[in-house]
Each structure stands twice: as C-alpha cells, then as structure tokens.
Amino acid sequence: MTAPFPAPAFTGPRLQAAIIDLDGTMVDTADDFTAGLNGMLAQLDALETSREEVVGYVGKGSEHLIRSVLAPRFETAHAQDRFDEALALYQAEYAKINVLHTRLYSDVEAGLIAMRDAGLKLACVTNKPHRFAVDLLRQYGLSQYFSVVLGGDSLPKKKPDPLPMLTAAAQLGVEPQATVAIGDSENDALAGRAAGMATLTVPYGYNHGQAIQTIKSDGIVASLLEAAKAIAAHQSTT
C-alpha cells in the first residue's frame, strides 16, 4: 500500500525521547469538550455550541477555548466580565464528563509500545489542565508509558511556547536535539521547533480547523505506530 504522505525527513542526532501531545493526537476529546461547554453555556443562558465549532478552538488551552466560545455569544465587554464565571463553570462541567465521550485513536498504544521498546523515553505534554490529562491517560491505560506528564497549568507558559517541551526534555534527562515532538496542531510543531526538536505531525486531529499541510514539520505520519517506524528508520541511519 502506498503511504499517504511522503516519508519524514529527519536530520540531526539519534533520537532518545519523544514528547507526545494528548488531545487530537492520542485521544479524540472533541465531544467531551462540546459536552462540557454546553453544560457551561446552559448556565450562562447562551446558545449551545457544536463539535464543528469546538474543533476550531481546541489546542490552545481551556482559557482560549472559553474565550472563543463566549466571543460570538456575548458583546466583548460582557464576555470579558463573564470569563471567570464561565471558566469555573466549564471546569466543573468537564470534571463530570472527562473521558465519557472520548475515543482512543488507532494504533496509539501500539505506537507507544514500539517507541518504548526502541529505548525512547516518553513524555506527554498537553495544554489540557494536568489533572484532566492524568485522568485520561489513566482511563486508557497509557500512564505506564510516560515518565513525565505536563499540562497547560503545570508551568507559567504553555505551547506554542517552548518552555513545556524544554522542561519535559530536562525531566527526561535528554537534550532537546535528541528529542522528537509529535502532535496534531501547529502549536505542537511551533513549540517543538522553538525548543530545537525534530517534529512529526498526525493528520487526524484538530489543528484549529486548518489543513494539516499548513503545518511546518519534519513530516506527517498516519499514526503513532507510523511515527515509531519513521523514528526507527532514522535511528538506522545515525
């Protein structure tokens, strides 16, 4: 079968670690986001949102998600006035339904196992609040693969800033140049590149509603298992 995308073209040293995004990369959580937001909006007496609207906002953290949903439903000043209330309502609603409407993408665990068995250290870095990320990983039995898990509230800055990526690499005990960042959105690639890492992109996530081809990365891989194979091919040449 012909690969749907050109093979990734890595440069640089042998890879020692992979830093992997969560929402849109390992787990499809758009329906959880939608349910949580609709629980919030009902209490604000505002119109419901939809999965189609929400996927364009995912990837930049809860604060961005809330502001984006409020913007078309309230006048600017009113939206700002209600932000703190909305964020608290959303977090309470999301805590009730986290994992209920999610699904694991294909070949996620197989990819993690292949990377681990190849000797890569693994970290999960997401803009999702840390407690929700930990719950998701635990529910799907994925926690065992990650030595480090960082959420959007774990550090003063979140992706696309490189700080979470650099922090994860430091906690794994590897150099950024020996690390690959894998995600579904431009934020993941921007953060990885800014940290001096190789980058891979999966095509099935959200990417703020934009085409995956708009992301500048070292390559598009159809799944985490394909990412593991691309990494193995790179290792064989270094």
How much is the pLDDT for 4? 66
In a domain, 8, yes or no: no
- Examine the domain organization and report whether 36 and 91 are in the same domain: yes
CA torsion angle for 151, 94, 184, 167 (degrees, to 10)?
0
Domain-terminating residue out of 97, 113, 130 = 97
pLDDT at residue 183 in the model:
97
Residues 109 and 92 grouped into a single domain:
no
In a domain, residue 159? The reply is yes
Neighbouring C-alpha atoms within 13 Å toward the C-beta of 37: 27
The pLDDT of residue 185? 93
- Annotated binding residue 218: no
Active-site residue identified among 21, 28, 188, 218: 21
CA-CA distance, 225 to 17, in Å (whole number)? 15
Q: Please tell me whether residues 110 and 226 are part of one structural domain.
A: yes
Report the CATH number that the domain containing residue 54 is assigned in CATH: 1.10.150
**Same domain? 205 vs 116:** yes
- Is 23 annotated to bind ligand? yes
Kindly report the CATH number assigned to the domain that includes residue 229.
Answer: 3.40.50.1000
Do 202 and 84 share a domain, yes or no?
no
The annotation status of 21 as a binding-site residue, yes or no, is: yes
Based on the fold, state whether residues 168 and 65 are members of the same structural domain: no
Q: What is the mean pLDDT of each run of 10 residues along the chain (238 residues)?
A: 70 94 96 96 97 91 94 93 96 93 97 98 96 96 98 96 98 98 96 97 89 90 97 90
Pairing of strands 27-28, 198-201: unpaired
Which parts of 44-162 fold into alpha helices (H)?
Answer: 51-54, 62-70, 76-81, 83-97, 108-117, 130-139
> Is residue 7 included in any domain, yes or no?
no
Whether 149 is covered by a domain: the verdict is: yes
Domain-ending residue, one of 67, 97, 127 = 97
pLDDT on residue 2 = 41
Instruction: Measure the CA–CA gap between 41 and 34, rounded to whole angstroms.
Output: 10
Q: Quick check: 181 and 195 in contact, CB under 8 A?
A: yes
128 in the same domain as 184: yes
212 within a domain of the structure (yes/no): yes
**Annotation marks residue 107 as catalytic:** no
Question: Based on the domain organization, do 122 and 106 belong to the same domain?
Answer: yes
Q: Residue 188: what residue type? A: D
Q: What is the pLDDT of residue 167?
A: 98
Q: Which domain holds residue 89?
A: 30-97
- Based on the structure, what is the number of domains in the chain? 2
